Amino acid sequence: MAIAITASFAYQAKGQSEWPAYGRDAGGTRYSPLKQINESNVSKLKPAWTFNTGELETYKGTELISKSAFETTPLMIDETLYFTTPTCRVFAVNASTGKQVWMYDPQVNLRADYSEVTSRGVSAWPAAKGNAPTKPEIIFVPTIDGRLIALHPETGKPLIQFGVNGTVDLKAGLGRDLSVTSPPAVIGNLVVIGSSLGDNQQMKMTRGAVRAYDVHSGQLKWTWDPIPRDSLDPAWNTWQGPNAHESGAANAWSVISADPDRNLVFVPCSAPSPDYYGGERHGQNLYGNSLVALHASTGKVAWYFQVVHHDLWDYDIAAQPILAEIIKDGKKTPVVIVGTKMGHVFILHRETGKPVFPVEERPVPGSTVAGESAWPTQPFPVLPAPLGLQKVGVENAWGLNEAEWIAATERIKQFTSGGIFTPPSYGGTIITPGNVGGIHWGGMSYDPGRGLLVTNINHLAAIIRMIPRDSLEMVERQNKDLIRAETGRQAGTPYVMKRDYLFKVDTGGMKIQTAPPWGTLLAIDMKTGEKKWEVPLGFMLDPRKYPDAEKWGSLNLGGAITTAGNLTFVAASLDGHLRAFSTSTGKLLWQYMLPATAQATPMTYSIKGKQYVVIAAGGHGKLRTRMGDALMAFSVD
């Protein structure tokens, strides 16, 4: 009996030591029960090994470096790490030494025009259950050119029985512009996948279909479209106008969570096309901007919860939904936690979609754009209270000196600023939060032992202008700043969109024109819904020149993880550090300067009695950070 009990503990410990899914578990909690690295010894954490992918060398002769981002989070299963580069090359490396086991190159066309050049990782079948260890039989790789590839985990060779010679063409029947940047969900014998689509370019975009395939054959099992195409769908009448049902997108480009015990997948849907004008799609626009629970075996809707009605702000659900159990009214309650770009966190009952903490429908401003009809109310969580930047006025103007403060004040005065959910306008509306959050794709982590939800957020306002299409050239001549602003063609509508942000870039760096902090890390007590702590995350300006820079925080992309060692690990900021904070208090305990910035989410595992923390440090081309190609592991001797 003693031998059997010992073996059982060893088996469970092996499972606890792994990181078998993007969010460690299928519900995306990003929590590890490991605690060898903890508050008492994290200050001794140092590099254990570094693996260089050679990715930047592959970009020679292309312009990929200007838009690539190394955002991967590796899996660790059966003593091997599996991860992807921005161009979807797949590596397997030894988890103890960082030595390459194999590499697979899907031969993505490096000269094609991709909206995003990134890959956040791979998925494995069979999916892990609880803390039981797994031995993968298939590694699934989505690509930015719209393929799903099945690889053998020991050799990296395509499994030819899947699809056609190991590949399913995801573009077939949908559109040539379809891409995938997030790993798929795996539930039972199904692999469930969404898509990434270029924003703001036209009204009739590619359909944002979610599809399920047989893991062995690649046979399509079901398709679900977030924009109803059947008049019998209960959401049909929430799309009004002759072209409404021809809208595209509303796609799930983030990570889909899975609950095999309930036969459910949780789909985080984005904005319908185009993001900022809804005059061709009047109505509430279900299931756009909704968390939708689908029956995994059939793809039928179980329930939905819409976080934004008739989106005009690019408020996709960018973060992976977290599946957790919380204590509510003295009993365990299964919930799904939805973090949003608005800084709103919705806690929903996992089986019904009903809010566990109160949510209110509140009146919001109307639109002044001809042809538009903004929805009159929006859902606001009472608890947890909204996070981050909810409104900007001249009182929020900021600069390093009086001249910069005056410039910020005058710029803010130019635009409409009515707070969150104020629609775009002709002269320009300050959108708070902007389209990078609030809570962004980096997502959240849940520590079940402490009952704390941890997330990093951005505090950055966007400026959105709607310009009549036939006036664009004249308006740009009158305002040279508009030529440099991002342009959304919004073909099929009367307007072109121009997007800018409340910052200026000069020789001193990026200077945000609203008061800091500009990026923070925070924790919410899930027993009460109250915020427990919030601290600045990183810095954007040189602390040697500006001593208070470390109090101002940084724009950030990439998420945090938590561990049983009472530690929260996060990189994400523009200064290039990986950091460890106390999960209980938010106190900074350790930081390390990486060879390139890390706009990625870390992970942790244990092998041969040693715990490691791993982060992808490769930079972000669009943010013009330090670039690289390193996967770094850290440990305590």
Domain residue ranges in the chain: 2-635
Do 104 and 141 meet the contact criterion of CB atoms below 8 Å apart?
Answer: yes
pLDDT of residue 1: 46
For residue 121, give every residue at least 6 positions away whose Cβ sits within 8 Å of its Cβ, in sequence order, or none: 22, 72, 73, 74, 75, 83, 84, 182, 183
DSSP one-letter string for 54-109: -HHHHTTTSSGGGTBB-----EEETTEEEEE-TT--EEEEETTT--EEEEE-----
pLDDT of residue 6: 46
pLDDT of residue 132: 73
Can you name the CATH fold of 2-635?
A: Methanol Dehydrogenase; Chain A (2.140.10)
Pairing mode, if any, of strands 560-563 and 31-32? parallel
Q: What does pTM read for this prediction?
A: 0.96
Give residue for tokens 């409104």: 391
pLDDT of residue 371: 97
314 is catalytic: yes
pLDDT of residue 409: 98
The alpha carbon of 569 is separated from its chain's Cα centroid by a whole number of angstroms, namely 17
Taking the C-alpha atoms of residue 220 and residue 88, their distance in angstroms, rounded to an integer, is 23
Number of Cβ within 10 Å of residue 78's Cβ equals: 15
Question: Phi then psi for 64, rounded to 5 degrees?
Answer: -65, -30
pLDDT of residue 12: 53
Number of Cβ within 10 Å of residue 52's Cβ equals: 15
For residue 172, give every residue at least 6 positions away whose Cβ sits within 8 Å of its Cβ, in sequence order, or none: none
pLDDT of residue 11: 44
Taking the C-alpha atoms of residue 434 and residue 340, their distance in angstroms, rounded to an integer, is 11
pLDDT of residue 7: 46
Taking the C-alpha atoms of residue 481 and residue 471, their distance in angstroms, rounded to an integer, is 16
Burial 206-219 (b: 16+ CB within 10 A, else e): bbbbbbbbebeebe
Q: Which of 31, 74, 42 has the alpha carbon at shortest distance from 526?
A: 31
Ranges under pLDDT 50 in the chain: 1, 3-9, 11
From 177, 311, 314, 629, active-site residue: 314
Taking the C-alpha atoms of residue 259 and residue 246, their distance in angstroms, rounded to an integer, is 32
Peptide bond into 274 cis (omega under 30): yes
